Amino acid sequence: MVKFNSAILIVITFLWIGFVSAISFMEAWLKFKAPGITLPLGLGIGRLVFNAMNKVEWVFALIIIVTIAFTQTKFINWQNIFALIPIIILIIQSLYLLPELDARTEMHIRGWNVDPSNLHLIYVVIEFIKIFNLLFFGITSFK
């Protein structure tokens, strides 16, 4: 039987996976396929969506941290490492990647020439790493 605290971890973890999967791997590129969506409009929508998703991810991360802190005797263990990696990724995204991508988006929207960058590729790669770790954490939360 799954304990209540494990149920919280499982639900939040899989909700987090769902949000990241739906936004990062579907919405991000599909919006540009919609009729009438220009590059500046799509970038503006993407910026709003990703900033909102970042806030939702922080809620998920905080729920996981608080649940672990109040229900487990050891905060750092092999299972929790798989929850901490996505949180570290979230910190990197919040403090570095999203601000940099926002700045580049603003330059595109204003019609400025923007040098090529690997920031989007880096963002996608660490989203896969985040999902893999969340998936492993969620599966191991079943007790």
Task: Classify 37 in phi/psi space as left (phi over 0), alpha (psi -120 to 50) or beta.
Answer: beta
Interacting residues of 141 by C-beta distance below 8 A, sequence separation 6+: 6, 9, 10, 13, 79
Rounded CA separation 143/17 (Å): 20
Query: Domain ranges in the chain?
Result: 4-140
The angle at the Cα of 64, spanning 58 to 69, to the nearest 5 degrees, equals 125
pLDDT per residue, tens digit, the chain (143 aa), is 457 678 899 999 999 999 999 999 999 889 999 999 998 999 999 999 999 999 999 999 999 999 988 887 677 788 889 999 999 999 999 999 999 999 999 999 998 998 989 999 999 999 999 999 999 999 998 86
Quote the pTM value.
Answer: 0.90
Question: What pLDDT is attached to residue 1?
Answer: 46
Interacting residues of 43 by C-beta distance below 8 A, sequence separation 6+: 105, 108, 109
Place of tokens 């798989």: 82
CB 136 within 8 A of CB 5: no
Burial of residue 133, with CB atoms counted within 10 A of its CB: 0-12 exposed, 13-18 middle, 19 or more buried: buried
